[in-house]
Amino acid sequence: NKIVFPELFFTDKNLVGRDVLKISRNLSDLKGIFADAEAFERMPQNQLAYEVSSFLPEKEGTPGGLYFGITYLYPGKVGNEYMMTKGHYHANVDRAEFYWGLEGEGMLILMDGQRNVWAEHVFPGSLHYIPGGVAHRMANTGSSLFSFAACWPSDAGHNYAEIAENGFSARLMEVNGVPHLI
């Protein structure tokens, strides 16, 4: 039972209809991020990996504003690696972000500027602070829909190129049925 955005949240009716952006990413949009390229190629490339519903009440780049979004990350694995988001640094690299778990379970994978990687368990009600300068990616480690909310500054932006080129220095793999950072 998917938590619905934005109907659940807009108590201020003046906000209804203001700049809601919905994006979806298929497997084909995630090419190159998983370790097992052969397993990846065998999967249907039009399979839905995740959807993001964002509320962007300010113009992109506005200092002092906030954005809000919910990501719905579907379960699955590519080889032994959990389904995950592309991951990014912020374009304004020092901008921070909050993530919090809504339904299902997963792991938040974090990497600082020295490429140190660590992970936090995400579950309904868990709160995660992502400091500036830290790249972030979510993985669905459960067998059901994993959704989480995010709040970030409207002048943060996204830097996908760095992760697309160099990846994270550790991956979240299933080993003997449990997630391991390798």
Residue number, nearest CB to Ni ion: 97
Q: By rule CB under 6 A, what string of x and - marks binding of each residue 75-94 to ligand PA5? A: ----------xxxx------
Please choose, from the candidates 160, 152, 122, 163, the residue with its C-alpha nearest in 3D space to the C-alpha of residue 139: 122
Least gap, CB of 167 to ligand PA5 (angstroms):
13
Q: By rule CB under 6 A, what string of x and - marks binding of each residue 31-60 to ligand PA5? A: ---------------------x--------
**DSSP letters spanning 74-88:** ---EETTEEPB---B
Question: Is the Cα dihedral 57, 146, 24, 37 positive or negative?
Answer: positive
Q: Which of residues 110-149 bind ligand PA5 (CB under 6 A)?
A: 136, 138
Q: By rule CB under 5 A, what string of x and - marks binding of each residue 65-84 to Ni ion? A: --------------------
Please choose, from the candidates 90, 107, 82, 80, the residue with its C-alpha nearest in 3D space to the C-alpha of residue 155: 90
Question: Judged by CB under 6 A, which of 150, 154, 168, 171 binds ligand PA5?
Answer: 150
